[in-house]
Chains A and B, each alone.
Chain A
Amino acid sequence: MTAIDTGQHQRSADEGLAGDVKIDVRNLSIGYAGKSALRNVSLEIREHEIFGIIGPANSGKTSFLRALNRMDEFTESMTVDGAIRFNGRDVREWRNAYALRRRIGVVFPLPVGLPMSIYDNVALAPRLSGIRKKQQLDDIVERCLSRAALWDEVRDRLGSLGSLLSGGQQQRLTIARALSQDPELLLLDEFSIAVDPVTTMRIEDVLKELRREITIVLVTNLVQQARRLASRTAFFLMGECVEVNDTEAMFTGTVKDPRTREYVEGRFG
Chain B
Amino acid sequence: MFEATELNFRDNRVEWAVKALFLLMTLLLILPVLLILGVLLYRGGPVLSWEFLFTQPTNGMTAGGVLPALVGTIWLVVVALLASVPIGVAAAIYLSEYAPQNALTRAINLAIINLAGVPSIVHALFGVGAFVYFFRFGTSILAASLTLAIMTLPVVIVSTLESLRAVPHAFREACWNMGATRWQTIWRVVLPNSISGILTGVILEVSRTAGETAPIMFTGAAMFMPLLPRSVFDQTMALSLHLYTISMNVPDVPEALPYGVALVLIGLILSMNAISIGFRTVLRSRRKW
A binding-site residues for B, Cβ under 8 Å: 69, 71, 74, 76, 98-103, 105-106, 110, 112-116, 124-125, 128-129, 161, 163-164, 174, 177-178, 181
Contact = CB atoms under 8 A, between A and B. Distances in A.
Given A69-B177, A100-B179, A116-B189, 10 more contacts: A71-B173, A71-B177, A74-B176, A99-B179, A112-B174, A115-B193, A124-B178, A124-B180, A161-B288, A178-B178
Interface in B168-217: 170-171, 173-181, 184, 188-189, 192-193
Nearest to B102: A76
B254 interface: no
Determine chain B's interface SS by DSSP, over half rule.
helix
A125 B179 contact: yes
B289 A125 contact: no
B190 to A, nearest CB: 10
B179 A115 contact: no
Given A74-B173, A76-B101, A110-B170, A115 B178 contact: no
A106 to B, nearest CB: 5
Given A112-B171, A115-B171, A106 B181 contact: no
A99 B102 CA distance: 27
26 contacts: A71-B177, A76-B100, A76-B101, A98-B179, A98-B181, A100-B179, A101-B179, A102-B179, A112-B174, A113-B289, A114-B174, A114-B189, A115-B192, A115-B193, A115-B289, A116-B188, A116-B288, A124-B188, A125-B179, A128-B178, A128-B179, A128-B180, A161-B288, A161-B289, A164-B289, A181-B178
Interface of B: 100-102, 170-171, 173-181, 184, 188-189, 192-193, 288-289
A246 B177 CA distance: 30
Nearest to A127: B188
Most chain A beta-carbon contacts within 10 A, residue among B100, B174, B184: B174
Contacts of B170: 110, 112
Contacts of A178: 178
A24 B184 CA distance: 30
Contacts of B178: 101-102, 105, 124-125, 128, 177-178, 181
A115 B174 contact: no
Contacts of A116: 188-189, 192, 288
A45 B100 CA distance: 33
B180 A163 contact: no
Contacts of A128: 178-180, 184
Contacts of A177: 174, 178
The 3 A-B pairs of least Cβ separation, nearest first, read: A102-B179, A115-B288, A101-B179
A54 B184 CA distance: 35
A100 B178 CA distance: 10
Contact of B175 (A100, A114, A129, A161): A114
Contacts of A101: 176-179
A114 B171 contact: yes
Contacts of B171: 112, 114-115
A101 B102 CA distance: 25
A110 B169 CA distance: 13
B175 A124 contact: yes
A115 B179 CA distance: 18
Contacts of B189: 114-116
Contacts of A76: 100-102
A124 B178 CA distance: 9
A161 B180 CA distance: 20
A174 B178 CA distance: 11
A177 B180 CA distance: 13
Contacts of B100: 76
B179 A163 contact: no
A178 B178 CA distance: 7
A74 B170 CA distance: 11
A99 B179 CA distance: 6
Contacts of B184: 128
A148 B22 CA distance: 51
Nearest to B169: A74
A264 B149 CA distance: 65
A116 B179 CA distance: 18
Given A112-B171, A124-B188, A128-B184, A163 B288 contact: yes
